[in-house]
Amino acid sequence: MSDVNITDVLRKLKKEEERHVGEQVLKECKSTDDLKDFLEKPKTEPGEAEKPYLHLFVFRRRKDGADELWTTEEDFKGLSDIAGLGATAEWFPISVYNKVINVKEELDKMTEELNKMTEKDRGALKLDKVEYDTSPKGELIEFFQDPERYVKGALFEVDDAASGSSEYFTSRNEHNNMTRVLCHSKTEIDVWVDAVDLRSSCKTCTGDCECFKVLFHYTKTLAFGSITSAHKKFHELWCSSGDRAHFGDGLYASQYAPEHFGSKLRVALNNYGSCDTDPFSDEPLCCPKYWKDIRAHWAVEAADFCIPILVPKGLLRDFKDEDKKGKFKAGCNHKGVKQHTHRDVWIISPPDKGNVMSDTTQRLDLLEKRQKDGHVSPPGKMQAFADAAHILVQQGELEEAGKKFEEALEIQKSIKNTDFGPSLVRAYAHCLRKQGTYESKQKAMELLKKHKVTSDADSGSMLQSLDHASWRHQGLDEHFKAFYDSWKQGDLAVAQNRLDQFESLLKQLPGESHRDLNTLKTYRAAVFSDQGNMEKAESLLKEVLESRTQSFGEKHMETLACHDLLARLFLNWREFDKAEDHAQKALDGRDPDKNKSDHSCPESHTGVHLNVLRSRSFLQEIRIEKAQSEIEKAQSEESPLSPLSEGVFEEAFKTMQDCARKMLPQEEMSNPEFAVSGFEDHRAALAMWNNAACVARRFAALPKINEERKHDMLQKAANIYKQLYTASKEPVSWDHAVHHARIACNRAHVLDLGKSTKKNPVEVLEEAKKTIQKFIDDLTKRKSADSQRDGSPQAPEERPFRDDQLLDQRPCLEDLPLEFLILDNNLAFLKYKSGDLILKNPSGTVPDGVGLLKEAKELYTKSMEELKGKLVRHATQQDNAAQQEAYSAAMTLGEILLKLMDQGAYSDEERRKFQEDASQNFKYAADNFEKLLGKLNVKSVACRHSYASVRLQQGGTEHWREAMKVFEAVADSWEEVNMGGAAASMLQESLDLKQDVHVKPELLRTLMRARALFSAASASKAIWLAPAPGKAAPTPQNLEEICQKFEVVLNMKDLGMDEHSKDQVFQRLKGIFAMAHAELGQLHGKEYQETKNPDQFHTTEKHFKAALEWLPQPQSQPPAEEEVQLLRCRTHFNSACLQLTALQYADVSTWEKVSEDFRGAADGYDKLIKSGGKCRCQGVKEECFYYQRAMCKFNLIKAISMQRNWQAVKAQHKEFEVLINELEARKGKGCAAPDENDLKKWKAELARNLRRPSITKEGSKASQVAPEIP
């Protein structure tokens, strides 16, 4: 810095302290901008410059590179002699030395550096000769500015084959080739084919804006992908503000297209140059510090892409014009420094506060016009349909989006040599999967298979298998975190772009970078895998594997890590053989004793490296998944299970247990301190122990497993879980608490499977729940204490920003981890199970059972609210585990409500509420399971069946019609339902079938279909025959239709049913056939009463007889036997009524038959009462066991008396007297009160018969009073 002029001027100022200011200027200021900053400082100590000096100076930079400081103040004219310019001079220069560099000369010096760069980066630093033109011209500007072209839906079309016809050619974004760009051949700048349209913000034009101007915003890869993405609601461009806004707040753009600048470097000089930079000069000048940034970053990255913007002139300002508020002088920056007139910077003010945004709906209208434009080429139309589909997906219009994708695919068939196909197919498949229905997921799979494109349908994320890389340069960590965050937010296209940015930074760093680049490739492969592109992921990993093998050898740790990644990739894609091959190679490379048994001599391997243990465990994990896949396949095909599968699980358990012992001896977990600090220090070891226990549990769940081996494995799992549970009882972090909840659930499950008598699984979960609650309470207290220390005790917790696509659902007090809710549901299920067992046991205490059901209901109700809230909060990125948990909870809650409804402790209103709540829970579960798993999944079909059953119970014509329709649909579904995997065992358990007996899936399908068809027929019968005020009598056609529905059920007897079989499923089927015969008997009996047709009598008699024959033999389960006995009673009673009717109308029956049936009914009710069967009449005498027994006995006596068997009448009279007394004794005990008229009539008949001499002496005259027909 020259000290003559500045020092002389400042020394002539009037105040003495200003000499000190001059010394500070010489010491601190290296440029004009520095001087400006210095003079803007507020005065805090004596001697510092005050703000009034600001208005004394203006600035200029001379062509030779010197900065000039000028003053125009009259007070300073006396300084002219010192300045050496004469007394009459108007301006007084004060020079501050700051040499600028010549860009052309600097580029010439960079020969060696340029040679190390890629061809693309070298091209960005070209300085080809261009001519400055003040008016923007070019084909791109003409296209966007013409009111009859772009804004009417036209597309900028270029003929790639026509040489020289255009400076542009069509291309696609490298990592998102769904985005079409126009690549300028000379500058290699990619221009978006569309524009951000701000014309709707015009406030001056009426109707469509006609005053708009086309500007071009140059940006880098990451921003381009974000701005042009169709997955967002707005095309958003970030504005500059504050110190970054050199010409005022707003979005910066240029009126010149790429062809006007001629190179990326000139774009960068225009956008980021210093005040004396002429971007169009042959030898542009630039401040050194600005040039350093341009050379390193801006020229290479910030001009890679260009986005056209249509801006109303009311939102625009050229930096050469003074702003309306007077804050910025014409042609000057925010510090008042005059800029070169050839720079072209336009400032776009956002219509509203914030950033410049354009709604994608506006672009959707443009794309609709383009789809109908006959002049648009097939590729252009295909792009228009595809872009519209993406926008519709974002808006949630998935079905409409699907139609657009189909149109695009149809056009794609007619286009040759297009690389658009795979991306289009994957995007359409993603849209189908997002619809969430089973059918749409199947369609997506078929689409991908048809086009031979891979997908990420069921694969896990490989990124979860990668540890955070340790980079050679710590400065890269921040950039890598940006990539990792974008992956966690589910924005894989942005993640891929950030990897590109990261790669460019790596290449600029000194030293060898091939190791870092190979590491980067593994992350890129992981992203490709998550995107569904297995081929690219596999190809990249194999490149890395080959490179590392050549550089380091086959047994180097990085080479082996690549084998692990390939194994994980193939495991995710269910290619087990390839996965096992790579996992085996990784293990062979790490394990020095690979030829020895993994567990033959555990003590000899105590020093085995952690990676070896993990490799052994991972290999076993692959083998287990392969075996499980084979088991599920065998079950679905009903083929025999291979004994090798059991061996795989046993071998895996031994290996994992051995690995876990080496990582963490079991006795270490018993240390009390371990419960607090052990989790953070031994996560990997605890995970290994958990894996070993899980393998043992999965082994015990295998079908047809030996009971002794099953018990042994469950015991081993229980011991491990007990130690893991104890070792995690003092959680100090969210992860620790989640681990404890997960272990508690696993332990309880194992104890329940093993029917443990030592430790109640309910107690385990209740203890864990208290532990979790204590952790939450402590966390709440700490949070409150922190707030009070900050002075804001009422301040709410600051919530992290949550993007729509956020995958990283971090736990907090307002959004508890899913594992906590799973623990609550498991506890609720065990309480429900215990309560249900008590109620099923005749000796059980009803209040205890009901109490447990109530507790289960409350737990499920609370967790359902939490789960539904979680699903809403994370609606766009659902976790299948959370969905399954919510829907399963709804299903079980419906079952609990029905169980409670059957208890007599509730009012009619409460029972109706239980019914309605149960139906809504079943419907919620059925609808969502169907979307998640498909119409033919056993859970969705079972829930739909339960929903229809509740509707049938609720009664009313509307409910009955709905039930009949649903049952008929369900019956069809049961015929085709998928019974693979655990479906058969789950259904077997829900039907209370013995778990130790294997039931063929086909039999289960038949049973469930028969139940659905019978229920549909019952609903049809209720619609026509249930009494209702003003209801018309059913016609013969109605009765025939109902009968046909029951006949459909009986037709299933032809499916190989063996009426003598004792199989538990056959017994259930027999019961259904018996009920169908009984129903048909009643229906035909009704017709017989009206028609008196003997054929109808014989048909009715045949059905009642068949019903009694098909009724299954007594079973060990009391509830099932009670149902069978009750049906037997009612069938005997109805048959007796039929015989009485026949005797009344025609001599086609006998009193012996009547007596036999009434005796069968009376004896049946007597057995029900004496066996401990609970009368469920709830005040209705027609349902009361005691009343029905007495009535049947009364009619039996009359039927016997009609046969003149007086001794038998006398014997029955004595029994009848006891029955009447027992009936009267039931008053106030929940049974229906005896009808006084019936009692009088019965007692009168007793007295009358006892007075007859025929009772004491046999006579020949029968009683004149026949039995009654109820």
Residue 796 or 435, more confident: 435
Q: 261-300: string of b/e by CB count within 10 Å (b at 16+)? A: bbbbbbbbbbbbbbbbbbbbbeebbbbeebbeebbebbbb
Residue 81: pLDDT band (50, 70, 90) is very low
Residue 887: pLDDT band (50, 70, 90) is very high
Residue 495, SS3 per DSSP: helix
- Torsion sign over Cα 110, 113, 115, 121: negative
Query: Is residue 277 a contact partner of residue 269, using CB atoms and an 8 Å limit?
Result: yes
Please tell me the distance from the alpha carbon of residue 823 to that of residue 831, in angstroms, as a whole number.
12
What is the mean predicted confidence (pLDDT) over 122-133?
76
Q: Would you tell me how many other CB atoms lie within 10 Å of the CB of residue 750?
A: 27
Provide the H-helix boundaries in 12-91: 18-28, 32-40, 80-83
Per-residue pLDDT reduced to its tens digit, 1099-1153: 988 998 988 888 876 554 444 567 788 888 889 988 888 888 888 777 778 888 8
At 792 the pLDDT is 41
Mean of pLDDT over the chain? 75
What is the H or E stretch that residue 312 is in? strand 305-312
Would strands 101-102 and 67-71 be described as parallel, antiparallel, or unpaired?
A: unpaired
The torsion angles phi and psi of 542, rounded to 5 degrees, stand at -70, -35
Please tell me the distance from the alpha carbon of residue 1086 to that of residue 1092, in angstroms, as a whole number.
10
Output the CA–CA distances (angstroms, integers) from residue 531 to 226, 436, 573, 1203, in the order listed.
17, 18, 13, 87
Query: Is residue 469 a contact partner of residue 526, using CB atoms and an 8 Å limit?
Result: no
Please tell me the distance from the alpha carbon of residue 664 to that of residue 681, in angstroms, as a whole number.
11
Q: Which amino acid is present at 431?
A: C
Per-residue pLDDT reduced to its tens digit, 820-853: 999 999 999 999 888 888 887 755 677 788 889 8
Please state at what angle helix 818-840 crosses helix 734-753, rounded to 10 degrees: 20
Residue 51: pLDDT band (50, 70, 90) is very low
Please tell me the distance from the alpha carbon of residue 317 to that of residue 249, in angstroms, as a whole number.
11
Q: Which amino acid is present at 82?
A: I
Please state at what angle helix 1151-1170 crosses helix 1185-1201, rounded to 10 degrees: 150
Residue 1232 or 957, more confident: 957
pLDDT of residue 471 exceeding 70, the answer is: no
Tell the burial category of 1028 from Cβ atoms under 10 Å away from its Cβ (0-12, 13-18, 19+): exposed
Query: Is residue 1068 a contact partner of residue 991, using CB atoms and an 8 Å limit?
Result: yes
At 159 the pLDDT is 58
What does the DSSP assignment read for 714-739?
HHHHHHHHHHHHHTTSS--SHHHHHH
Residue 804: pLDDT band (50, 70, 90) is very low
Query: Is residue 31 a contact partner of residue 287, using CB atoms and an 8 Å limit?
Result: yes
Residue 792 or 268, more confident: 268
Pick the closest to residue 396 from 231, 178, 234 (CA basis).
231
pLDDT of residue 1262 exceeding 50, the answer is: no
Phi-psi region of 176 (alpha: psi -120 to 50; beta: other; left: phi over 0): beta
Residue 303 or 91, more confident: 303
Give the CATH H-level superfamily of domain 455-590: Tetratricopeptide repeat domain (1.25.40.10)
Lowest mean per-residue pLDDT among 158-167, 436-445, 785-794, 1230-1239:
785-794
- Residue 96 forms beta bridges with which residues? 67
pLDDT of residue 757 exceeding 60, the answer is: yes
Q: What is the CATH number of domain 381-450?
A: 1.25.40
Q: Would you tell me how many other CB atoms lie within 10 Å of the CB of residue 478?
A: 8
Tell me the whole-structure pTM to 2 decimals: 0.61
The highest-confidence range among 129-143, 515-529, 715-729, 896-910, by mean pLDDT, is: 715-729
pLDDT of residue 860 exceeding 90, the answer is: yes
Q: Would you tell me how many other CB atoms lie within 10 Å of the CB of residue 485?
A: 16
- Residue 236 forms beta bridges with which residues? 357
Please tell me the distance from the alpha carbon of residue 207 to that of residue 838, in angstroms, as a whole number.
76
Please tell me the distance from the alpha carbon of residue 977 to that of residue 969, in angstroms, as a whole number.
12
Per-residue pLDDT reduced to its tens digit, 16-48: 444 455 555 555 655 556 655 665 555 444 444
Please tell me the distance from the alpha carbon of residue 1011 to that of residue 1049, in angstroms, as a whole number.
8
Residue 931: pLDDT band (50, 70, 90) is confident
Please tell me the distance from the alpha carbon of residue 238 to that of residue 348, in angstroms, as a whole number.
11
Write down the residue that tokens 């024959």 correspond to: 1109
Write down the residue that tokens 């000290």 correspond to: 3
Residue 159 or 380, more confident: 380
Phi-psi region of 331 (alpha: psi -120 to 50; beta: other; left: phi over 0): left
Please tell me the distance from the alpha carbon of residue 1211 to that of residue 1221, in angstroms, as a whole number.
16
Per-residue pLDDT reduced to its tens digit, 991-1017: 777 655 667 778 888 889 999 999 999
Q: What is the percent of the chain with per-residue pLDDT over 90, rounded to a whole number?
A: 9
Query: Is residue 149 a contact partner of residue 165, using CB atoms and an 8 Å limit?
Result: no
Please tell me the distance from the alpha carbon of residue 38 to that of residue 49, in angstroms, as a whole number.
8
What is the C-alpha R_g of the chain? 43
Q: Which amino acid is present at 322?
A: E
Pick the closest to residue 995 from 714, 639, 705 (CA basis).
705
Residue 374 or 52, more confident: 374
> What is the distance, to the nearest Å, from the Cα of residue 838 to the centroid of all Cα atoms in its chain?
38
Residue 1228: pLDDT band (50, 70, 90) is low
Pick the closest to residue 483 from 499, 467, 507, 471 (CA basis).
499
Please tell me the distance from the alpha carbon of residue 155 to that of residue 974, in angstroms, as a whole number.
53
Query: Is residue 221 a contact partner of residue 501, using CB atoms and an 8 Å limit?
Result: yes
Query: Is residue 158 a contact partner of residue 168, using CB atoms and an 8 Å limit?
Result: yes
What does the DSSP assignment read for 847-871?
HHHHHHHHHHHHHHHHHHHHHHHHH
Strands (E), 262-303: 285-286
Residue 317: pLDDT band (50, 70, 90) is confident
pLDDT of residue 94 exceeding 50, the answer is: no
Please tell me the distance from the alpha carbon of residue 1188 to that of residue 1160, in angstroms, as a whole number.
12
- Of the CA atoms within 13 Å of residue 1181, those in its CB half-sphere come to 13
Provide the H-helix boundaries in 435-532: 438-450, 477-488, 492-508, 514-531
Please tell me the distance from the alpha carbon of residue 60 to that of residue 98, in angstroms, as a whole number.
12
Pick the closest to residue 247 from 228, 277, 211, 275 (CA basis).
275
pLDDT of residue 1253 exceeding 80, the answer is: no
Please tell me the distance from the alpha carbon of residue 1014 to that of residue 1076, in angstroms, as a whole number.
7
Instruction: Name residues whose C-beta falls within 8 Å of residue 401's C-beta, 6 or more positions apart in sequence.
Output: 388, 389, 390, 392, 393, 431
Would strands 212-219 and 305-312 be described as parallel, antiparallel, or unpaired?
A: antiparallel
Tell the burial category of 618 from Cβ atoms under 10 Å away from its Cβ (0-12, 13-18, 19+): buried
Lowest mean per-residue pLDDT among 106-120, 192-206, 527-541:
106-120
Please tell me the distance from the alpha carbon of residue 1048 to that of residue 514, in angstroms, as a whole number.
73
Where along the chain do its domains lie? 4-99, 105-357, 381-450, 455-590, 835-916, 1114-1256
Residue 133 or 1043, more confident: 1043
At 468 the pLDDT is 43
Residue 634, token pair as written in the block: 């065998």
Would strands 346-348 and 251-253 be described as parallel, antiparallel, or unpaired?
A: antiparallel
Query: Is residue 1177 a contact partner of residue 1185, using CB atoms and an 8 Å limit?
Result: yes
